[in-house]
Structure 1
Amino acid sequence: MNFPVQAITLDLDDTLWPFAPIGARIDQVLFEWMLQHSPATAAMYPVAAMRELRERSFHDNPQLHHDLSALRRLTLHEALEKSGADLALLEPAYEAFYAARNQVEFYPDALDALARIAAKVPVAALSNGNADLQRIGLAHHFSFQLGSREHGAAKPAASIFHAACDRLGVAPTHVLHVGDHAEMDVVGAMQAGLRGCWINREAHVWNHPSLQPDLQFDTLTGLADWLDANASAQHA
C-alpha cells in the first residue's frame, strides 16, 4: 500500500522497548528501596503484595487510568500509610520508581529504525505510559511528547490523536500512528481519521471485525524500509 505520510505519531512501551522487563525491575527496585528506607513497608508489602495493591488501585480508580504516575503515587501512599511509615517518603520512593521506569532496553531494531524514520518525517511520541524521553535520551528524535496524563485522556480516545495532529500541524489523514496495541493504537488511530500501522512483533492475529491496519510489520525496521521505498509518495 502506498500513501502519503507527512508525520508520524509513535507509541513507546512495547513498540520501542518491551515493558515487561521494566515492570519486573521496578517491582524489585521498589522493594529494595523500602527495605532500606522503610523496612515495615517492605515487610507488609513484598513484591507480590505491592503488585496486588497496585492492581487494586488501578481497578478502583478508573478516573485515573490516563495518569499512571498518579496511580503509582496512590499505591505508594497507601503502602506507606498502612505500614505506619513516614509519608515524607512518598516522593523519594516515587523518584526511585521513576528512575527504574526510565531504564529501558530497546528492541534490537528500534534505535536505528527510529533514527531513519525521524530523518524522513516529523515524529511525535504518543503514549498512555509515563516514560520520559529526556531521561531515556531519545528526545532529539521527536518533535514533542504527548502523554495521556498531560492530555487528560488516554488512547484510544480520538481527542489525544487529534491533539497530536493539531500540534504537528498536519491533517489526521496524512498522519500515520504506529504502535503495538491493536485496539488502543491501530483501531483508535484509524477511528480518529489517522492511518494506522501495527508493529506486531509477537505474530498476534488481527481480529477487528471491520478495520484492517493500513500497514503491518514485525519490526520498526519494516516501517523505515517502507518509508524509504515510498519516498516519492510522501510529497504527493
Structure 2
Amino acid sequence: MTTTPIHYRHILFDWGDTLMRDLPGQIGPMANWPKVEAMPGAVQALQVLSTHYVCHLATNAKDSDAAEIRRALARVGLDTHLSEIFCFKQLQVEKPASAYFQQIVKKLNCSPEQILMVGDNLQKDIIGALEAGLDACWLNLDDAGNKQDIQQVNSFSSLTSWLLSKG
C-alpha cells in the first residue's frame, strides 16, 4: 500500500539555542539583554525556508511575551521571517506537553502532520512534538548521539537542504 506523503505547511522553530543563542548569565526578557545573537545559519535558513513554508516560533520562555520576543528577533533580523509567536505567556502550558502543541495545531487550523517542529532539545521539542502527532527534526548542533530513530540535522544548511529536497 502506498500513501501520498503529506507536505508541511508550517514549521515551528524553538527559540533559545535553536534560532537565538541563550547567552549564559542573562536574565529577564531577551529583548532587553545588552547583546543578542542568532544561531549560526539561522537567518539565512529562515530567509529561504519562509518562502516555502509559513514559519513560526514555539518557545517555553517565561520572561517574555510575544511582543518582547519579536523585539529580540528583530535585533538579529529574524522577526520578518516568522509569522506567529507561540509562547508560555500565551499558551499557559510548556513543551513537551501535548496540550502545548494541540493549541498550536488549533490556532494554525491544520492537521498535526502538516507541521514540522525544529528544535535543539530532544525531549521537549522533538519527543513532545512527535507524541502530539506533529513531525519533528532535531537540530543537533552538538552532534550528540541519537540512539532513537528520529530525523536530525547538525546545521541550518542541512535542515534547509533536507526540507527543500522533500519538495
TM-score by length of 2: 0.83
* Aligned counterpart for 2:87 among listed residues 138, 147, 168: 147
Indicate yes or no: 2:23 matched with 1:118: no
1:33-72 correspondence runs (5 A): none
Q: Is the 8 A contact 1:11 1:179 kept in 2?
A: yes
Could you tell me which residue of structure 1 aligns to residue 32 of structure 2? 99
CA distance in structure 2 between the partners assigned to 1:219 and 1:185 by the alignment: 16
Relative to its length, the structure with more helix (as a share) is: 1
Cα 1:17/1:98, change in 2 over 3 Å: closer
The SS at the match of 1:120 is coil
2:44 counterpart letter in structure 1: D
CA distance in structure 2 between the partners assigned to 1:104 and 1:224 by the alignment: 23
Unmatched 5+ stretches in structure 1: 28-93, 232-236
Report how far residue 158 of structure 1 moved.
Answer: 0.7
Could you tell me which residue of structure 1 aligns to residue 70 of structure 2? 133
CA deviation profile, 1:93-127 (whole Å, cap 9, x unmatched): x67x75117x4212221100011111111111100
CA distance in structure 2 between the partners assigned to 1:164 and 1:143 by the alignment: 13
The structure with higher relative contact order (CA 8 Å, sep 6+) is 1
Indicate yes or no: 2:143 matched with 1:203: yes
2:24 counterpart letter in structure 1: G
Identity %: 25
TM-score by length of 1: 0.60
Cα 1:16/1:135, change in 2 over 3 Å: closer
* Aligned counterpart for 2:10 among listed residues 4, 7, 10: 7
Could you tell me which residue of structure 2 aligns to residue 172 of structure 1? 112
Could you tell me which residue of structure 1 aligns to residue 131 of structure 2? 191
CA deviation profile, 1:1-31 (whole Å, cap 9, x unmatched): x752121111011111321xx233x26xxxx
Could you tell me which residue of structure 1 aligns to residue 24 of structure 2? 23
Q: How many residues align?
A: 155
Report how far residue 149 of structure 1 moved.
Answer: 2.2
CA deviation profile, 1:46-66 (whole Å, cap 9, x unmatched): xxxxxxxxxxxxxxxxxxxxx
Q: Is the 8 A contact 1:124 1:164 kept in 2?
A: no
Could you tell me which residue of structure 1 aligns to residue 99 of structure 2? 159
Q: How large is the Cα RMSD of the aligned pairs? A: 2.1
1:135 counterpart letter in structure 2: A
CA distance in structure 2 between the partners assigned to 1:98 and 1:153 by the alignment: 22
Q: Is the 8 A contact 2:36 2:72 kept in 1?
A: no
